[in-house]
Chains A and B, each alone.
Chain A
Amino acid sequence: MAYQYTTNAQKTAPAAAVGAVVTPNNTAYANSAWATIQDPMTAASVLTGIAFRTTSTTVGQYEIDIGVGAAASEVVIATIKGMCYTLIGNSANGMYIPFAIPIDAIPNASRVAARLRTQGGSVTTWNISITYLEKPIVGSLQVTTHPTKVVPSAASLLNIQSGASSWANGTWGQLSASTSTDWIIAGVSVWSEGTHGFQYEADIGIGAAASEVVIATLKAGYCFQSSAPFLIMLPNPLDAIPLGSRVAMRVRTSASPPFHNWNFYVGLTYYEGPL
């Protein structure tokens, strides 16, 4: 038996205040301005998670960057990617994305900020905040200096379709033709316009086209499509994508028509390895 632990108290920023207000760029996947979350940090720290929300009522794929540094000199230390499907009214409660392996890249006295990219078409503000642990870490917690990255990057989630019958595989959709480093999967984004009784499985595979080997499968049942954040973080990041790999995903569904050949939108949040 072995486990990781820490007795450090997790902290929040902004503390006991609303999250930093970020106004999206109206242009699809163009960066917003950076918004300060805390300046300065009072100790060197590791980033443990990101909380966020919006009152936008437009369909919203999002990418959130957390950066460290003075204004105009921010360095991105983490990016996450998902979906806030809010077409019929924004709605979600679990708007917090934890990092299984916290990111050790926040120096003492530094400024921490956030920026946003969306599908565009809305300038309704978002609120973004973080959780962190001040160093030194007491315990056995694994941390990394590597930032999380996302694929597709600064673009919409990859559109793939389920198979033509119940539980029939859809066609593989390529996320990367060849990874430039090892990829360690931290989280998986899967979104579709499902409804009650709709179940899916999503495979992540590596290998040449038609020779993909499945390295992970997720399965879930939908209740309704209007929600967020559509990003499942893995407590144990998956270190199974070597440098030079082709990475793809496919989906299959349970339901009877019209959910065959159904549109899904997928992506990954990952660390570049080795850590």
Chain B
Amino acid sequence: MSLLNTGVLKVAPPAADMVELLDGGNSWEYGDWVEVIAATSADCNVAGICVGASSAYSNMEAEVEIGVGASGEEASIGLIRIYGPNSGTAHPGIYLLPVVTDTVDAGSRIALRYREHDVNLTPNVFGVLYYEGFDADISVPLTLTAAPLGTDSVSFTPNATAWANSAWVELSSGIGYSSLLAAIAPSNPSTTCDIEWDLGIGASGSEVVITTLRSAMMVSSRSGLLWYLNLPSLYPIDANVRVAARMRKSGTATDATTVSLLYYLNPVVPPTPPVPTDESSVIRILRQWGHFSDENFWIFWHEFELLMETGKGLVTGQGSDPVIEISYSNDYGHTFINAQNVSIGKIGEFRHRVRRLNLGRSRDRVWRLVCSEPIAITLLEATARISKGSS
């Protein structure tokens, strides 16, 4: 899997002023979708957005949603949440998604809409960055979203002692689906300082640090760009895991600070069952087909492939490298032979193929699947490549 890409990075609208977006007139109310690309000229992957502030802002929290579809039928393919302290000293805004969107088909209309804490009477301007011919082995057809969503970020008071931790603040009490943590959108202290953020998971009072982020702030008055701070890579968490953050920094400033979480939600994958604590709690599933035969002629089995949801392994422990046992019977289902554990994909290996090759011959065969992994198993169908003998 490689992050390298040779496709061309393009912008829209090209060689023209960016489109103007207004919020909806109330705090955190979306304005109208505004078309950025009427019809993409080729398949593309959205890389991010560009922003220019037409009017002054201060402590701006905003969400920009990327949509695909005809006017009035836009479907969100991602959302970027940004924090900006002061437009008076902000630099040009280019906000690239941690992972490009899944492919947007040629001919698609791409639009943006936007909302923020304040009501902005003067439109800000936005554009889209996208790749044509994107060929890195990476994309997620999931929606980048935020917590909190559509409301103010979580506010807390930093510790007055240099490098002493703030209290943990909850960013998410737990999402009903597995997710991938991507970034935080924080505000910053009003003085020059170094800053560290811990992200933790676990119940209140029992948080375990899963990663630490670092940044720096220059000068007073909360100057600077709209921004967010990426994790070093996506961090997968299981369903219903509480996520919290805490901050420490140099200096003693105690200005109220805010933070929110950006993450990819995986709504198509059902919540992962809890990891069993002992063998007695493992659920064993078994699926067995009927008899495959053709006039009692020999059937030569070249390939058997199981089409199922893959890449849903757990982060650690049992289920982190899940397998399914594939075996068959050539004696009408009396005995099953040649059992083999076949990987069904570690977490994120969504392109993993579950198949076996060179599987002998039979006049009658019954296929059997057995799995006792603590993950949700979704079987779609099975295919086989065979040839019929002459006797």
Contacts and interface: CB of A to CB of B under 8 A. Distances in A.
Contact of B50 (A1, A12, A221): A221
Interface string A58-84: 000000000000000000000000001
Given A6-B232, A239-B4, A199 B125 contact: yes
A1 B351 contact: yes
B214 A93 contact: no
A108 interface: no
B94 A227 contact: no
A85 B223 CA distance: 13
A224 B90 contact: yes
Interface string A190-218: 10001011111100000000000011111
Which of A9, A52, A215 has the largest number of chain B CB atoms within 10 A? A9
B115 to A, nearest CB: 19
Nearest to B349: A2
Given A94-B225, A219-B127, A16 B163 contact: yes
B16 interface: yes
Contacts of A221: 18, 50-53, 92-93, 125
B192 A102 contact: no
A252 to B, nearest CB: 6
Contacts of B131: 236
A108 to B, nearest CB: 19
Contacts of A3: 99, 138-140, 180, 234, 348
Interface in B270-328: 311, 315-316
A197 B142 CA distance: 33
Which of B4, B55, B56 has the largest number of chain A CB atoms within 10 A? B4
A191 B53 CA distance: 17
Interface string B224-256: 110101111111100000000000101000000
Interface in B87-107: 87-94, 96-100, 102
A219 B90 contact: no
B2 interface: yes
B102 A1 contact: yes
Interface string B44-88: 000100111111100000000000000000000000000001111
A10 B2 contact: no
Nearest to B2: A142
The main secondary structure of chain A at its interface with chain B is strand
- Interface residues of B toward A: which range? 35 or more
B4 A237 contact: yes
B38 interface: no
Nearest to B266: A1
A68 to B, nearest CB: 19
Given A12-B212, A96-B215, A239-B4, A201 B235 contact: no
B236 A95 contact: no
B227 A227 contact: no
Given A92-B225, A129-B214, A221-B53, A9 B209 contact: yes
B218 A55 contact: yes
Nearest to A50: B214
Contacts of B332: none
Contact of A94 (B3, B180, B211, B215): B215
B11 A98 contact: no
A53 B6 CA distance: 33
A11 B346 CA distance: 25
A6 B89 CA distance: 35
Contact of A218 (B9, B99, B215, B235): B9
Given A140-B348, A235-B99, 16 more contacts: A1-B139, A1-B351, A4-B233, A9-B210, A10-B232, A55-B218, A94-B224, A98-B232, A142-B1, A201-B11, A221-B51, A226-B223, A227-B90, A236-B5, A238-B4, A239-B4
Interface of B: 1-6, 8-11, 14-18, 47, 50-56, 85-94, 96-100, 102, 125, 127, 129, 131, 134, 136-142, 163, 180, 188, 192-194, 196, 209-219, 221-225, 227, 229-236, 248, 250, 311, 315-316, 347-351
Interface of A: 1-12, 15-19, 48-49, 51-55, 84-86, 89-96, 98, 100-102, 127, 129, 131, 133, 139-142, 167, 184, 190, 194, 196-201, 214-228, 230, 232, 234-240, 252, 254, 275
5 contacts: A5-B180, A9-B210, A222-B52, A238-B4, A238-B9
